[in-house]
Amino acid sequence: MDTSQARHTDGDLTVRKGGAEFIDRLAPLWLALHAHHQSVQPGFAYFPDEDSWELRRDRYRRWILDEGSFVLLAERDGQPVGYAFVQIEEGPDDT
Protein backbone atom coordinates (compact mmCIF):
# COMPACT_ATOMS: atom_id res chain seq x y z
CA MET A 1 0.00 0.00 0.00
CA ASP A 2 1.56 3.32 -1.06
CA THR A 3 0.72 5.83 1.64
CA SER A 4 3.40 8.40 0.76
CA GLN A 5 0.78 10.73 -0.72
CA ALA A 6 -0.88 11.34 2.66
CA ARG A 7 0.37 14.76 3.70
CA HIS A 8 -0.26 17.56 6.17
CA THR A 9 1.44 20.95 5.88
CA ASP A 10 1.60 23.57 8.63
CA GLY A 11 3.64 26.60 7.62
CA ASP A 12 7.06 25.40 6.53
CA LEU A 13 6.67 21.99 8.22
CA THR A 14 5.28 19.08 6.23
CA VAL A 15 4.30 15.72 7.71
CA ARG A 16 3.95 12.82 5.31
CA LYS A 17 2.73 9.29 5.92
CA GLY A 18 4.69 6.53 4.23
CA GLY A 19 6.25 3.13 4.45
CA ALA A 20 9.52 1.39 3.62
CA GLU A 21 10.45 4.15 1.17
CA PHE A 22 11.07 6.47 4.15
CA ILE A 23 13.25 4.17 6.26
CA ASP A 24 16.67 5.17 4.91
CA ARG A 25 15.78 8.85 5.36
CA LEU A 26 15.47 8.23 9.11
CA ALA A 27 19.17 7.42 9.65
CA PRO A 28 20.36 10.93 10.62
CA LEU A 29 17.42 11.36 12.99
CA TRP A 30 18.02 7.98 14.63
CA LEU A 31 21.74 8.76 15.01
CA ALA A 32 20.94 12.13 16.60
CA LEU A 33 18.69 10.37 19.11
CA HIS A 34 21.37 7.73 19.71
CA ALA A 35 23.92 10.51 20.45
CA HIS A 36 21.45 12.22 22.76
CA HIS A 37 20.89 8.99 24.72
CA GLN A 38 24.65 8.66 25.17
CA SER A 39 24.98 12.25 26.37
CA VAL A 40 22.28 11.98 29.03
CA GLN A 41 23.05 8.41 30.14
CA PRO A 42 26.81 7.94 29.62
CA GLY A 43 27.15 4.90 31.90
CA PHE A 44 25.45 2.45 29.56
CA ALA A 45 27.12 0.33 26.90
CA TYR A 46 26.00 1.54 23.49
CA PHE A 47 26.44 0.06 20.05
CA PRO A 48 28.63 2.09 17.69
CA ASP A 49 26.57 4.40 15.47
CA GLU A 50 26.79 2.22 12.36
CA ASP A 51 25.72 -0.92 14.24
CA SER A 52 22.97 0.93 16.08
CA TRP A 53 21.46 2.18 12.84
CA GLU A 54 21.75 -1.24 11.14
CA LEU A 55 19.85 -2.88 14.01
CA ARG A 56 17.20 -0.16 14.09
CA ARG A 57 16.77 -0.16 10.29
CA ASP A 58 16.31 -3.94 10.28
CA ARG A 59 13.69 -3.67 13.02
CA TYR A 60 11.84 -0.91 11.10
CA ARG A 61 11.88 -3.04 7.94
CA ARG A 62 10.36 -5.97 9.83
CA TRP A 63 7.74 -3.74 11.44
CA ILE A 64 6.76 -2.08 8.17
CA LEU A 65 5.78 -5.50 6.82
CA ASP A 66 3.12 -5.69 9.53
CA GLU A 67 -0.34 -4.71 8.40
CA GLY A 68 -1.10 -1.14 9.41
CA SER A 69 2.45 -0.07 10.37
CA PHE A 70 3.67 3.22 8.89
CA VAL A 71 6.03 6.15 9.32
CA LEU A 72 5.10 9.79 9.86
CA LEU A 73 8.00 11.88 8.54
CA ALA A 74 8.23 15.58 9.40
CA GLU A 75 10.22 17.68 6.93
CA ARG A 76 11.26 21.30 6.77
CA ASP A 77 12.52 22.55 3.41
CA GLY A 78 12.66 18.93 2.21
CA GLN A 79 14.93 17.83 5.07
CA PRO A 80 13.77 15.32 7.71
CA VAL A 81 13.41 16.92 11.15
CA GLY A 82 11.41 14.29 13.02
CA TYR A 83 9.49 11.06 12.70
CA ALA A 84 7.17 8.66 14.42
CA PHE A 85 7.12 4.99 13.61
CA VAL A 86 3.63 3.62 14.20
CA GLN A 87 3.10 -0.09 14.70
CA ILE A 88 -0.47 -1.30 15.03
CA GLU A 89 -1.04 -4.45 17.08
CA GLU A 90 -4.28 -6.34 17.60
CA GLY A 91 -5.79 -6.70 21.04
CA PRO A 92 -5.80 -4.72 24.27
CA ASP A 93 -2.77 -2.64 25.08
CA ASP A 94 -2.23 0.26 27.45
CA THR A 95 -0.02 2.19 25.05
What's the CA gap between 84 and 33, in Å, rounded?
13
Instruction: Collect all residues with Cβ–Cβ distance below 8 Å to 80 and sequence separation of at least 6.
Output: 25, 26, 28, 29, 73, 74
For 2-45, write each residue's pLDDT tens digit: 444 556 666 789 999 999 999 999 999 999 999 999 999 988 89
Model pTM score: 0.77
Higher pLDDT, 68 or 58: 58
DSSP state of 44: S
Rg, Å, the chain Cα set: 15
Task: Give me the pLDDT at residue 3, please.
Answer: 47
